[in-house]
A and B are shown apart, each in its own frame.
Chain A
């Protein structure tokens, strides 16, 4: 087993007493004050996350636009400089390689933000697809640190603490800012369902910013509450809701798969699933009891026959219920369908509900 990597803020997490655990090949902070306290700080005020483990890949060259549009499900030709799109890279069978953000830096100049656990796999995949395109693929993951400032007070915090005026940024846009001689990327994005910003910068700048945020008393947050926050608002985590076996159509993210654009990898498979119906569907489940459904637990029909499994489940924090997202046979995907979750020795009644358990509060 290989050693876990450290982010540029690792020593600070350890010094601040965070509970550390491996995630995506990195030794990451899971919690500082506690998942519930951090979760509530982000929903009600502001919190900051170290997300330096995320990967960054820069794609340039005469055919960069054509190439990125070929490996990505969303339609980047619709984007202007300063724009960001969410979408997926797919295998030809529609299974998901990764979900990612594409930042349009300039003409034929794109910045891809990918999941930490998938960096090696994604870079290999991108390079493999790039052989017939005139592009340069540059994995910059080790050069960037990244923090996410999230919550209703995020805009004020960016201004007051980091002296970054972000009032001009709308949801899913970014700007490149000269910050003490460092060219940094600031975007109005996040993974919590709240308003917020993400900053990509050199390790030194990220470390300085972290110190400023700590001095100002901003709550440091771990990956524990990042997961509860994103889960409650229906955002997927690669490895749970999107995998090589789960297409975006099954997962209910067809909106990000532009079947009307020119050819892209996985298009035919997605078009077929959309036309004929996917064999499986990602659904929300609400349990009638307090027992907690966890990743991997079996989901059964009323006759206790297995029809799927839980991809993510929690006792909600902003939602006071035991809730889950589950991948089930499509026949059981309708809202209101009674299902059961097998938890330890018992079967608990559940009902299919929308998989967005808590409303997002984005500033559009």
Chain B
């Protein structure tokens, strides 16, 4: 059973956003890391890059395949999780703890388009 955390926002492409003030931490869900298997590389944007809701901003790669990362929110990247450069497998250990980018949100109303924990749980059990 995949872990789902209350209070986060979820996308249909299995990214999550954890909001703190004007910032959002974006990563992939526990369900996504489980589906991918051993994560061996995370292709991340750079600080100051702009991301846009619904647009690809990088990729998470398992041994077998590359999966695009789609940003659930728009804004400016203010931090990337550099620990993932040397240890991409951290995502398999704890996907929610090991967020990928921190974004300064440009439009918080976009969060309304995302699912809450309950809706996401129903979504992955479909």
> Quick check: is A31 within 8 A (CB to CB) of the other chain?
yes
> Quick check: is A317 within 8 A (CB to CB) of the other chain?
yes
Minimum distance in angstroms from A192 CB to a CB of chain B: 15
B63 and A294 form a contact (CB under 8 A): no
> Quick check: is B15 within 8 A (CB to CB) of the other chain?
no
Given contacts A35-B37, A35-B38, contact A315 B64 (CB under 8 A): no
Minimum distance in angstroms from A114 CB to a CB of chain B: 24
Given contacts A314-B63, A344-B43, contact A34 B37 (CB under 8 A): yes
Chain B residues near A344 (CB-CB < 8 A):
43, 59
Chain A residues near B38 (CB-CB < 8 A):
34-36
Minimum distance in angstroms from A224 CB to a CB of chain B: 6
> Quick check: is B119 within 8 A (CB to CB) of the other chain?
no
For A, the interface residue count at a CB cutoff of 8 angstroms equals: 18
Chain B residues near A290 (CB-CB < 8 A):
41, 85
Chain B residues near A317 (CB-CB < 8 A):
63
Q: Is the interface of A mostly helix, strand, loop or mixed?
A: mixed
Chain A residues near B62 (CB-CB < 8 A):
35
Interface of B toward A, CB cutoff 8 Å: 37-38, 40-41, 43, 59, 61-66, 85
B63 and A224 form a contact (CB under 8 A): yes
Cβ 8 A contact of B64, one of A30, A291, A322, A343: A30
Tally of A-B residue pairs with Cβ under 8 A? 36
Chain B residues near A113 (CB-CB < 8 A):
none
> A317 to B37, alpha carbons, bound, how many Å?
14
> A294 to B43, alpha carbons, bound, how many Å?
14
Minimum distance in angstroms from A107 CB to a CB of chain B: 45
> Quick check: is A292 within 8 A (CB to CB) of the other chain?
yes
User: Which residue of chain A lies nearest to B58 when distances are taken between CB atoms in the complex?
Assistant: A344
A315 and B43 form a contact (CB under 8 A): no
Chain A residues near B85 (CB-CB < 8 A):
290
What are 25 inter-chain pairs, A to B, with CB distance below 8 A? A19-B37, A30-B64, A31-B37, A34-B38, A35-B37, A35-B62, A36-B38, A36-B63, A224-B37, A224-B63, A224-B64, A228-B63, A290-B41, A290-B85, A292-B41, A292-B61, A292-B66, A294-B66, A314-B63, A315-B41, A315-B63, A322-B41, A343-B43, A344-B43, A344-B59
Chain B residues near A30 (CB-CB < 8 A):
64
Interface hub of A292, A314, A317, A344 (most chain B Cβ within 10 A): A292
Chain A residues near B40 (CB-CB < 8 A):
292, 315
Chain A residues near B65 (CB-CB < 8 A):
294
User: Which residue of chain A lies nearest to B38 when distances are taken between CB atoms in the complex?
Assistant: A36
